[in-house]
Amino acid sequence: MCNSPFAPPIGPLLRVVGKGRWPGNPAYCRGCFRDLYNHRDGAEVASTSFFADVRGSTALAEVMPANEFRALMDRFYAAAAAVLIDHEAVVDKFVGDEVVGIFVPALAGPAHSRQAIDAAVELLRMTDNDGPTPWVPIGIGVNTGVAYVGAVGTEDHVEFTALGDPVNVAARLAAAAGAGELLVTEATAAAASYPVADRERRSLELRGKSAPTDVLVIRAEGPAGDGSARDARH
Cross-strand partners of 53? 98, 139
Of 5-9, 15-19, 157-161, the range with the highest mean pLDDT is: 157-161
Phi, psi for residue 37 in degrees, rounded to 5: -70, -45
**Model's pTM, two decimal places?**
0.84
Q: What is the residue-averaged pLDDT of the chain?
A: 86
Could you tell me if 206 and 172 are in contact, meaning their C-beta atoms sit under 8 angstroms apart?
yes
| Per-residue model confidence (pLDDT) at position 75 | 97
- What is the 3-class SS of 2-33, one letter each residue? CCCCCCCCCHHHHHHCCCCEECCEEEEEHHHH
* Predicted confidence (pLDDT) at residue 1 exceeds the cutoff of 50: no
Tell me the CA distances in angstroms from 159 to 90, 105, 107, 155, 209, one per residue in order.
11, 19, 17, 11, 26
Phi, psi for residue 121 in degrees, rounded to 5: -65, -40
* Residue 85: closest CA among 57, 125, 131, 50: 50
Amino acid at 87: H
Which three-class secondary structure state does DSSP give residue 192? coil
| Per-residue model confidence (pLDDT) at position 184 | 98
| Per-residue model confidence (pLDDT) at position 154 | 74
| Per-residue model confidence (pLDDT) at position 228 | 39
* Predicted confidence (pLDDT) at residue 2 exceeds the cutoff of 70: no
The pLDDT tens digits for 109-162 are 999 999 999 999 999 999 999 999 999 999 999 999 999 998 887 766 778 899
